[in-house]
Structure 1
Amino acid sequence: MITENGTVIALKDDRAWVQTIRQSACESCSARSGCGQRVLASATSGRANQVLVANTVRARVGDEVTIGIDEQALLGASLIVYALPLFLMVLASIAGHRWSGGADLWAIIGALMGLCAGFFAGRRLQSRQDGRYEPRLLRVNRIASETCI
C-alpha cells in the first residue's frame, strides 16, 4: 500500500476532499547531487494536490488523514495509461508500414490511429474497474478539534 498524509479540506456527500503536499524523496537520497530528478522535484515541490476519496472513516474538515492506493492497482493503471497506447501505436505503425509496402506516411497514420485506439481502449478498461484505481481513506491521524496545550 502506497500511503500519503493529508488534511480534509471539504466534505461532499459521502466523500472527502483531501489536500496533500507533494513530497520528494531527494532529501534522503545519497545520489541527489548528480540526479536530474532533483531538479524536477525542486521545480514542483510544495505544490498542493487535492484528491476526492470516499469518506469511509467519518473524517471531518480539518482532520489529518492517511490516504492510500494499492501497489497492484497503481501498476495496473500505469500499464493501461502508458503501455497500452504505446503498444498499440507500435503495432499499428508496423501494420501500416507493411500494408502499404514500406510507405512512411502510412506508418505514421497507423501509429496515430494505434495511439488513439490505445487511449480509447484504456479509457474503457479504466471505467470498468469500479473504483479499483482510486485512492482510499485509510485512517484519521489527528482530529481537528483536539488541541494541544
Structure 2
Amino acid sequence: MIKEWATVISWHDGLAQVSCDVKASCSSCASRAGCGSRVLNKLGPQTQHTISVPSAQPLVAGQKVELGIGEGSLLTSALLVYMTPLLGLFTVAALFQLCFGSDLAALTGALLGGVGGFLIARGLSPKLAARDALQPTILSVGLPPELLRIDTASSEMGQ
C-alpha cells in the first residue's frame, strides 16, 4: 500500500475533495548539490493535485487525511501509460519496415504507433479509473484544525 497525506478542501454528501502536494523526488540526499533530478524539479511548476475520495465520516476543510492506493493499482496505471505507446511504437514501426522496406517508413510507423498507443491509453484510462479497486481510499483521519492548539509559551519558558 502506498500512502500519502492530503488536505481536505471540502466534504459534501460522502465525497471529500482533497489536495495532495507534489513533492520533489529528493530533498534529503547527501548529493543534493549535484543532483540532476533536483534541478529538474525546481524548473517545473510546483502544483497540487485535487481528487475526490469517498468518505462516510464528515470532514472539515483543512483537516489532514492519509490516503492509500494499492501497489497493483499503481503498476496497472504505469503499465497502461508507458507500455501502450511503447508497444504501439515498436509494433507499427516493425510492420512499416516489413511492408515498405525503408528506414523512413519505419520512422513514420514508429511515430504513428506511438501516437496511436497514446490515444489507446487515453481511451482506456477512464474505464480503468472507474474501477473501485483502482481508487485511493482514506486510511486515517487527523484532527480537525480547530481542535489543534500549539502552545508556544511553555516551550519559550523552558529555554
TM-score tier, shorter chain, comes to 0.7 to 0.9
What CA deviation, in whole Å up to 9, does each residue of 1:90-128 have, x standing for no partner? 110111111012251x32332233223312332344344
Other-structure match for 1:22 = 22
The root-mean-square deviation of aligned C-alpha atoms, in Å, is 2.4
Distance (whole Å) between structure 2 residues aligned to residue 46 and residue 117 of structure 1: 30
**Paired residue for 1:108?**
107
The structure whose residues are more often helix, as a share, is 2
Judging changes above 3 Å, is the alpha-carbon distance between structure 1 residues 146 and 102 closer, same or farther for their aligned structure 2 residues? same
1:57 CA displacement: 4.1
Larger-Rg structure: 2
Q: Which moved more, 1:40-49 or 1:22-31?
A: 40-49
User: What are structure 1's unaligned runs of at least 5 residues?
Assistant: none
Identity %: 30
In structure 1, the residue corresponding to 2:60 is in which secondary structure?
Answer: coil
| Structure 1 CA distance for aligned equivalents of residues 106 and 50 of structure 2 | 41
Matches within 5 A, 1:1-149: 1-44=1-44, 47-102=47-102, 104=104, 106-129=105-128, 130-148=131-149
What residue ranges of structure 2 are gaps of 5+ in the alignment?
A: 152-159
| Equivalent residues of 1:65, 1:141 under 8 A apart | yes
- Given the two structures, how large is their TM-score scaled by the length of structure 1? 0.81
- Which range moves more in the overlay, 88-97 or 29-38? 29-38
In the TM superposition, structure 1's runs of 4+ consecutive aligned residues that sit over 6 Å from their partners are: none
Matches of 1:38 and 1:18 in 2, distance apart? 26
**DSSP 3-state at the match of 1:27:** coil
On the 8 A contact 1:57/1:140 being kept in 2, the answer is: no
- Deviation digits for residues 120-146 of structure 1 (CA, Å, limit 9, x no counterpart): 332344344314433222221222341
CA shift, 1:54, in A, is: 2.0
Shift in CA distance, 46/65, structure 1 to aligned 2, threshold 3 Å:
same
Name the CA distance, whole Å, in 1 between partners of 2:57 and 2:99: 57
Q: TM-score, length-normalised on structure 2?
A: 0.77
